[in-house]
Structure 1
């Protein structure tokens, strides 16, 4: 059997398209449909946008109009329970996700096996149930629902202002920029020709081709059961 291809996913829980990419890649890893070593790289989307001199899609009226409809189509196609926050500007553009991504980073450093569940729960909070992802009580609730122990959550909360956490989040964000990222999700496939960047949640057919794998749709297990 050939060696697993390393795939890095740079994501931020403030990004709904990152959630789509996250779920699809996690499904392909869990099912074994793709022979990949998926590396989750929590980063700060605000830093990527600033570093690449990009603008948030919602800041462009025509893109914002398109995005509101596209997210509903993607919700059905990707089978992800996404619901747009009632006050999108406040939740996404004003409150943002810096503290949330520091919390994910703090957990990821010591307990990487919990990163997937915690990230998913934070997406559920902001992008499914329209709940806060900026306050300590929100992180405590998310941690509990993600199966983290009280000790792990307390430890992560206590380290949010530590330089180690800030530096690691900055390092992940800079790593994405070094790959020439300009938004999220940014997927890096490590193949024979070197690292290949694939942007967004709608290029999985291209990613599959780079990896030498077969794209079976957003849920490979469902696709197999229909054969």
Structure 2
């Protein structure tokens, strides 16, 4: 399995996605610094402490990499069905289940790891910049850090599952655009934050959606040995 995952990484040049994730991190750091400035100009009091900033950062990171997950599904799975290269893969003396599982593990692992690491990078960068720019005057405590670390781990896990939902819609018509649009819509509906409230904060919603995502992944290869590649 690990060998197949390494081959997928090499085949699809996954380090290019790592570079894209790094660029996305830079953009999120810039946005995180701009948010309290805009907040101050407009006379609002939303981004006045680290608790609210960490929520904003987590929301940005989560949304970004759920979309990334949709892009990876489109590239690693849907596009290969569409271009008939999946047929060639299934001709190899390797079970179809194993090939598909390797792809799904790679996609969900990338999503999970990217969300965890990016949360750390963006938060650390914002803290460093804020220490001399003073966007907010609040101080961050170990309790806040510990609570956020636990929250990030759970949201990353839920997002890894939720990010697999676009696979279902993409597989219906073998459409790359449908896969990516579905990921964007999911972020828009579930990930948007309105005055501190997000559907993602209602624990049953991300848990249910993550379960649906993992179920979609399971169904995608459950009967794959008996299904012809169209």
Asked whether the two chains share a fold, i.e. TM above 0.5, the reply is no
Greater helix proportion:
2
- Higher radius of gyration, 1 or 2: 2
Higher strand share: 1
